[in-house]
């Protein structure tokens, strides 16, 4: 299964990118390690680690965040700019009447002006823009975990479908053996022709099941490959089996990990954003001082003089109190949404935990108790049929009971792995042991 981010959410943008690289490194170290001769067996076998790496690097949903981060970087740069300096030109006492009918009494002024920001407005703007980057980084991290969980679930489905195809091929082989045995007895006069007809019909049905599982496997491979943008899978099979499910674990321990989930940590980033917005709104309540300096030329006397001015708005600190109040309300809302998310997280985690527990217990019972007994029963029933003590119907029923139990084992194991993937997604930590690579008896059936 996949490994996710270990420890608390990263505290800067570069750290986030490093965490994704760490995920990939951990994946190759702990997930589905292929044996040394795996590459020689098949050049088209896909591993879970490779599937997750492809999805993280090529999934279109994740690529969107690159543009968002670029846009926010522009906002940060813009927020850090100081107030601009304006150049103004002014002409007075021109185009009037009598003494002012010409330019002899004109006055020309050329000045530079700007404002002095008070209350650390520039720092507040930069902090608010940076806080938005934290939120986007957290959203991307959360989306990456969701994507990894979805890749794992679809990968498990491919593994389960391969197992069902293997089982269908084995069932077809048993049906072929049954036809041969029944026809041999029919030729010897020890069995009616109707049994031979029923055996051949069962073989035809087994062929249909093989064809059906082949189609399901093609669909499952496509469903997996579209997560990294491939409309045609470039792999024939995936490496893995459903045998190693691990332990159930302790729920309280899992919940302690889950509250460190980036989806929960995202609320902390939102709270930091709201705090930054409050500081920005508060800083906007401080009035700015406008200033101007320049030079004035008197046309009438041909003299020049320097001019300077200050501008102080006559407004109080309450002018921007509405924006500060709105920002504080948004912060308090974020805190409440975090509490609600924690409740939903606990419920989702408990449901996945119970489903995984049930799947592990069911698979363990089927594997160790039910299937061995049914295998022995099938062997004894076959021997009894060949010796004429049991009928064809009893032999076919024994085969069907074993087949149903093996299908139930695949369903229970895949359900446990699906739930385990959900738990890993919620806790942001590895939970399950790696799916052990195993060869597929029906590899040739997928072509």
282-315 pLDDT, tens per residue? 776 677 788 889 898 887 788 888 888 888 877 6
CB 414 within 8 A of CB 160: yes
Model pLDDT, residue 26: 40
State what percent of residues in the chain have pLDDT above 90.
19
- Residue 236: band (very low, low, confident or very high) from pLDDT cuts 50, 70, 90: confident
- Residue 377: band (very low, low, confident or very high) from pLDDT cuts 50, 70, 90: very high
* pLDDT > 50? residue 209: yes
Model pLDDT, residue 350: 92
Mean pLDDT of 231-248: 82
pTM tops 0.75: no
CB 299 within 8 A of CB 99: no
Give the tens place of pLDDT for each residue, 142-185: 888 888 888 989 999 999 999 999 999 988 988 888 888 888 87
Mean pLDDT of 261-279: 74
| Most confident by average pLDDT, 26-30, 139-143, 151-155, 267-271 | 151-155
Model pLDDT, residue 351: 93
The 3-class SS string of the chain reads CCCCCCCCCCCCHHHHHHHHHHHHHHHHHHCCCCCCCHHHHCCCEECHHHHHHHHHHHCHHHHHHHHHHHHHHHHHHHHCCCCCCEEEEEEECCCCCHHHCCCCCCEEEEEEEEEECCCCHHHHHHHHHHHHHHHHHHHHHHHHHHHHHHHHHHHHHHHHHHHHHHHHHHHHHHHHHHHHHHHHHHHCCCCCHHHHHHHHHHHHHHHHHHHHHHHHHHHHHHHHHHHHCCCCCCCCEECCCCCCCCCCCCHHHHHHHHCCCHHHHHHHHHHHHHHHHHHHHHHHCCCCEEEEEEEEEECCCCEEEEEEEEECCCCCHHHHHHHHHHHHHHHHHHHHHHHHHHHHHHHHHHHHHHHHHHHHHHHHHHHHHHHHHHHHHHHHHHHHHHCCCCCHHHHHHHHHHHHHHHHHHHHHHHHHHHHHHHHHHHHCCCCCCCCCCCCCCCHHHHC
Task: Look at 234 and 98; give whichever has higher pLDDT.
Answer: 234
CA 285 → CA 118, 274, 335, distances in Å? 9, 17, 25
- DSSP, collapsed to helix, strand or coil, labels residue 367 as helix
* pLDDT > 90? residue 25: no
Give the tens place of pLDDT for each residue, 81-135: 888 888 988 888 877 777 666 777 788 888 888 888 777 777 887 888 888 777 8
Mean pLDDT of 65-82: 79
State what percent of residues in the chain have pLDDT above 70.
82
Model pLDDT, residue 320: 66
Helix (H) or strand (E) holding 109, with range, is strand 107-116
Round to whole Å and give the CA distance between 377 and 359. Answer: 25
Round to whole Å and give the CA distance between 51 and 426. Answer: 20
Longest dimension (CA), the chain: 139
| Backbone dihedral angles phi then psi of residue 92, each to the nearest 5 degrees | -125, 160
Give the tens place of pLDDT for each residue, 412-442: 999 999 988 888 888 877 654 445 444 344 3
- Residue 141: band (very low, low, confident or very high) from pLDDT cuts 50, 70, 90: confident
Round to whole Å and give the CA distance between 423 and 427. Answer: 6
Q: State the DSSP code for 100.
A: G
* pLDDT > 60? residue 445: no
* pLDDT > 90? residue 230: no
Tokens in use for 5? Answer: 């981010």
Tell me whether residue 409 is exposed, middle or buried, using C-beta atoms within 10 angstroms of its C-beta: 0 to 12, 13 to 18, 19 or more.
Answer: buried
Spell out the residues 6+ positions from residue 109 whose beta carbon is closer than 8 angstroms to its own: 88, 89, 90, 91, 92, 294, 295, 296, 297, 307
CA 127 → CA 140, 271, 275, distances in Å? 20, 13, 10
């Amino acid at each position: 299964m996949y490994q996710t981010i270990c420890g608390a959410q990263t505290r800067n943008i570069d750290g986030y990118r490093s965490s994704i690289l760490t995920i990939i490194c951990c994946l190759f170290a702990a997930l589905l390690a292929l044996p040394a001769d795996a590459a020689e067996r098949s050049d088209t076998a896909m591993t879970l680690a490779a599937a997750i790496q492809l999805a993280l690097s090529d999934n279109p949903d994740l690529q969107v965040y690159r543009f968002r981060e670029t846009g926010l970087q522009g906002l940060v740069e813009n927020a850090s700019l100081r107030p601009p300096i304006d150049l103004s030109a002014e002409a007075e006492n021109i185009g009037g009447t009598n003494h002012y009918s010409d330019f002899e009494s004109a006055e020309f002024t050329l000045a530079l002006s700007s404002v002095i920001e008070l209350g650390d407005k520039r720092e507040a703007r930069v902090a608010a823009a940076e806080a938005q980057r934290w939120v986007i980084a957290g959203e991307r991290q959360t989306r990456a975990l969701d994507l990894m969980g979805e890749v794992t679930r679809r990968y498990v489905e491919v593994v389960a479908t391969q197992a069902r195809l293997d089982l269908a091929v084995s069932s077809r082989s048993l049906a072929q053996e049954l036809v041969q045995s029944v026809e041999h007895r029919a030729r010897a006069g020890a069995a009616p022709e109707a049994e031979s007809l029923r055996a051949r019909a069962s073989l035809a049905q087994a062929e249909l099941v093989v064809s059906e599982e082949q189609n399901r496997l093609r669909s499952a491979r496509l469903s997996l490959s579209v997560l990294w943008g491939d409309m045609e899978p470039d792999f024939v099979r995936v490496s893995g089996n459903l045998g190693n499910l691990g332990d159930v674990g302790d729920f309280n321990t899992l919940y302690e990990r889950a509250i460190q989930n980036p989806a929960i940590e995202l609320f902390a980033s939102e709270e930091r954003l709201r705090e930054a917005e409050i500081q920005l709104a508060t800083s906007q309540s401080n009035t700015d001082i406008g200033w101007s300096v320049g030079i004035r030329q008197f046309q009438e006397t041909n003299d020049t003089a320097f001019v300077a001015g200050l501008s102080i708005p006559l407004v109080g600190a309450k002018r921007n109190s509405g924006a500060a109040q709105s920002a504080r309300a948004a912060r308090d809302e974020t805190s409440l949404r975090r509490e609600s998310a924690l409740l939903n997280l606990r419920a989702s985690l408990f449901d996945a935990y119970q489903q995984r527990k049930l799947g592990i217990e069911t698979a363990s019972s089927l594997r160790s108790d039910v299937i061995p007994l049914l295998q022995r029963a099938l062997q004894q029933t076959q021997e009894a049929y060949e010796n004429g003590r049991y009928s064809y119907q009893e032999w076919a029923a024994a085969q069907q009971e074993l087949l149903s139990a093996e299908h139930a084992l695949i369903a229970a194991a895949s359900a446990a792995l699906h739930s385990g993937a959900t738990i890993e997604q919620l806790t942001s930590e590895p939970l399950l042991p790696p799916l052990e690579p195993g060869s597929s008896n029906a590899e040739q059936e997928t072509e």
